[in-house]
Structure 1
């Protein structure tokens, strides 16, 4: 066994919006331990969907994680990961909150089983457009997304496997389950030209999701179903997605369409749309254009619609500068329309 130097190891994944870096601090006897994450900071006007943006210094989504892996024989690897969001701009507030915490078992043929708070199979499909640093898929992180499992899923058991037909063709399957839980529900509503919010408790029954996707010749197609009851009403989502290319390397295009029932911000019926087109140049500059909208399908009212033009530039390995301007394209719920913008940098540990 031996301790290693803090050499940087670059790891790229289907889910990451930019290259992820991890410093391997230990390696020996089939065991590794790595520390990773990043901090980011921006200046501009940036806010949540239902809150007015303010001109200020802000963070995007800084995080710190620790990951360990151990080979236990017969091609089986056990791993565990903890990841925490870092609140480093607001002195006196909570500094760390849990993003991920899980244990997994992987085998090349048998697949991968994960238990804990993790990225959901739903996100494997719906997250293909969640790539830019400054502005991306807001609808994936709506009210109680952890309980619904639309991005990171709390207390989930998941299984994934890939059947590779050839070097260019593969089929993927993902299954997820979450047990009963309860949490606060926040429902926006409009009246007299104002958006108001109703807070109430919400009871979540068992939830399940299944994701299937295929990859061929640089293209990817996927479908995911997420279903279960919330307050004894069916809360389900169907998402279809497609992508082409590799984000940050030449042309990348991704499209996402969702059809939902009692799933998004208390809307009885809703549809969601996301599109992103990006072109990564050899000099490290990535030019991005994206569009996003959520519709109240039952009442034919747009909840929000927005489009952003963004630039990301790799200054050096582990350091990315970004700039983005998001145009508010309007809504039908009397919410003030505010363009947003952000200029900043992300530094990877």
Structure 2
């Protein structure tokens, strides 16, 4: 694991995805930083009222410590913010982990974290307003964290990378999640004796493992990720597998950026899902970033024809007024119906 890859790993732990952090302490190998962002937008559409919405605001704190002999340990906590409504929970956990990084031995992380699967799947998840919805839709109660496609609960991961100079670089990641129960009881009525009758909803996830590998050369990147494990719903246990293949060229926010993602979900004996995301973006010298993205999700139940569940295209723009203030706007066309949507707002990095 070369020093450049090590630097990227530490930066990701300290500053996070698409974020800026303020380092408030740095002394004798110990650092402490606070970051995150507050994002609000005016959003609406043909099938929904116009409202003011929060767009994934969060606050995070990260500490690092040089352990000597090439080892650096870091701890991070990140919480989503409820800043537009009175009452309710002000914070909920997004990330919480401890990581250990070494120049040669790689990086290990334990806790709630961005999964290796997302290392591959994130290449199209870039615009603020409209991006990879299918990665966050989740299944069986909508809890994507239990399947580990993006942020993953209770995960242990390991990453490493190899730099071949002009021949490019190879990175890989491995991860494991323990058993998670996402079931609850739902009241459905009463029986003949007048007693309340409940049914179990949600699902129970057995151990899950995942693998991610990517290769980068001359500004281009190609990656593959795989996640597998059993899921039990209504006493029916079956395998739930995810495959993701992605490719990208360039750097988002810096000139031309092109990326594509294909994700295949194999849910044995139930429903297979194919999802695609494409994005093309170009950032001008004045920091105005223009993009167009396309997303579609197709599903196929056993012994039935394939159906298109969602098909959308969005035109978007982002502009950096300063290094930590971004204005954004977008219009998303519903290609399967008439639920076109718009969003315009601002993001202020802490």
Q: CA deviation at 1:259?
A: 1.3
Once superposed, which parts of structure 1, at least 4 consecutive aligned residues long, lie more than 2 Å away? 11-14, 16-19
Is 1:315–2:316 an aligned residue pair? no
Distance 1:66 1:21 in 2: 11
Change (3 A) 1:281 1:267: farther
- Structure 2 gap ranges (5+): 1-9, 185-198
Length-normalised TM-score, structure 1: 0.86
Q: CA deviation at 1:144?
A: 1.5
Q: CA deviation at 1:27?
A: 1.0
Distance 1:267 1:323 in 2: 38
As a proportion of its length, which structure holds more helix?
2
- Picking from 270, 275, 278, the partner of 1:275 is 278
Distance 2:270 2:79 in 1: 30
For the residue of structure 2 that corresponds to 1:20, the secondary structure is coil
Q: CA deviation at 1:201?
A: 2.8
Is 1:243–2:256 an aligned residue pair? no
For the residue of structure 2 that corresponds to 1:91, the secondary structure is coil
**Contact 1:12–1:19 (CA under 8 A) maintained in structure 2:** no
Residue number in structure 2 paired with 1:210: 211
**Contact 2:45–2:339 (CA under 8 A) maintained in structure 1:** no
**Contact 1:43–1:57 (CA under 8 A) maintained in structure 2:** yes
Q: Deviations over 1:8-43 (max 9, x none)?
A: xxx9769x9974211111111100000000001101
Please give the root-mean-square deviation of Cα atoms over the aligned residues, in Å. 2.3
State the structure with more CA Rg: 2
Change (3 A) 1:46 1:95: farther
Residue number in structure 1 paired with 2:24: 25
Q: CA deviation at 1:127?
A: 1.0
Residue number in structure 1 paired with 2:308: 302
Is 1:94–2:89 an aligned residue pair? yes
For the residue of structure 2 that corresponds to 1:150, the secondary structure is coil
- Picking from 94, 113, 128, the partner of 2:123 is 128
Q: Deviations over 1:56-83 (max 9, x none)?
A: 0111110000000000100000000000
Aligned positions, number: 316
- Structure 1 gap ranges (5+): 1-10, 186-197, 331-335
Residue number in structure 1 paired with 2:146: 147
**Contact 1:39–1:62 (CA under 8 A) maintained in structure 2:** yes
Residue number in structure 2 paired with 1:57: 52
Change (3 A) 1:12 1:128: farther
Residue number in structure 2 paired with 1:195: none
Change (3 A) 1:174 1:157: same
**Contact 1:40–1:59 (CA under 8 A) maintained in structure 2:** yes
